[in-house]
Structure 1
Amino acid sequence: MSAAPGTDPRPPEGQAEPEARIFVGRRLEISQISTALLAGSSVIVKGRAGIGKRTLLGKVREELAGQRICLAPSVATPKQLAADLAEQIHEAIGLEVPERLIPPRFRAVAERTGNVEFRHIRRTLSREPVADQMALLLRALDHRDDVILFVESLEVPPTQAEYLAQLSERCQLCAALDADNRRVRIQRLLWKFQLTVDLKPLVSPDVRDWVEQWLDTHPVAFESPRIRKAFIRGVARDSNGIPAAVQGLLDFALVERSVTRATLREMSHDAALTYLDMTPVLVILSVGFMALRYISRGMGMKELMVMAGVGTSMFYLLLYFGRMMRLRGR
């Protein structure tokens, strides 16, 4: 039997609509990712924590919603992954459900119409082992070339990584990954991505546009119009273009009774911090101490040759670290 769509997208009665997040910039990245996905490639979005990877994936999913079947399950646990996928695949494609999973009171309607609503099989399906649920879902995805699986984070345990690897054989993937991730268990997945997009911080005009839009909808009091302008400049400067830091600074202003010059001096957010790589400094200090040792003993031809070798090595080390830091900054 096939499961028929039947989910009401509206929020439950009495629950407020969630606040729409402000989204600025990233037009080039959205176009690049959407084009690659429509061409049949899988895409991985990399960047530091707080850079906006998940939000970008959500925007791409909205962009492609009318052109592809877009699945976005939670990967928190294997059971949650299977449950979310089952419901989303049911809505978009329809599941071929074994008769034993259909409660007896719904079987007559299912036999007559050939369909069964997902809410009628949710409980019985959830009682199945996760491996059996995944096998059912994989069969539903066989021979399809219009399904994209969006994964908010590849920071997953081995079981979820294995299921994602199986799903990648049947559909495209569009996933987010922290730039400093070195976990071996996801290496099996990485080679399946044809395109890697490295997210960079937002440029200052985009951050200012974000702050202006946010201030239009949030009641923040300022000591003077000049302080308001200084606040916008301060958020753009102190956030370093990191979306998580921008939102954190805005939330900080929201709880203030009035934003003053003193408030501006206190503004900071951990997501905007950058750390200096001290390795080149340590190398220079080590070489310096070595050079002082030779100088203190007096230098002959042999010592000069040693110093020349050390100096050459230090030059190439500094050149290497300089290139590495430049690549990180791009």
Structure 2
Amino acid sequence: MLCLSSRKKEKKKKKEINLQKNESLFLEELIASSGGKYNPIRTFSSRQILQATDNFNMSNAICEDRFVWYKGTIENITVLIKNYNEESLTMIPDNIYRDIAVSSMMSSHKNVLKLLGCCLEFPTPVLVCEYPENGALTDMHAGEGIKPLAWNVRLKIAREIADAVTYLHTQFPRIIINRDLKLKNIFLDENWTAKLTSFSLSIPIPEGESCVIDIICGTTPHVEPEYTATGFVTENVNVYSLGSMTLSLLIGKSWFIYHPYEDYSYKRLTDYVEECLGQGMFTKLIDPSMLNSVDDNVPDHSRVQMEAFVELALRCLGLRPGEDKPRMIDVAKELKHIEKQT
């Protein structure tokens, strides 16, 4: 009995130490990110989190990256619980607090996964978010592919994510650059509305400045080459990533694509796109699930939209010589215009 009591006391003490450390670091980040203006964030107990995830049982996981997303239930409400894995903690330990802070600041936007609260009783915080009924755009079993979705849904997803990132760029005292825009960080609610998530790699640009220097981070094929070469973080970092994400939505694969004629089985997405366009094989770019199974064709109005969609993506990627990359607000406007084309 004494041994059991001692273990309980030790466990309680560890929770208290974790709580004190995390509360301090989180509050510091929240004040820095929001300029001191923020809404209170609800905290959950470690017991609630462990019960909801069955002790972080992978059978409850729906998506995995540098972290694992678990489906769970707290107080009879279905939620999504985000737990960072050990490898990511060695790479970006402090950025978890930024993820919570920026997620909280962005939660009012309809195209951002709403943060319900967090648990600070573990060695590193755990996030609790709303549950999107249609899950992850790329789930545990999708590999490099995405769910089979209609063209109008994919176009809407691109526009909605551009809207969310525009908000991130324009609605706070300092421009915030996400640096982690990719299909894996998008969820879909019951109405197939896109929900952007994951802001751990976000970084603010100082007021009055157009860039900030920082270490290179993000998903490698998706990082702007200029940022990789110089370490300068500008708005173009997000514009480039959105362009790559846009192409992935059309093709149905994330970042790399199978190419049977190469010694290596994968080719960069941008190389594949330029090769297809150069050979006049636009249809080859389109996810086969969107093609007419009889003649491998698409309706004329959809093709007009798709061609404009690809051209915009290539401008975002800086692959149209003589044309400047568009600003994110202009990308969002242009995607809205493409949606209206018939």
User: Shorter-chain TM-score category?
Assistant: under 0.3
| Larger relative strand fraction | 2
| Larger relative helix fraction | 1
Higher-Rg member (1/2): 1
Q: Higher relative CO (CA 8 A, sep ≥ 6), structure 1 or 2? A: 1
TM-score by length of 1: 0.22
TM-score by length of 2: 0.21
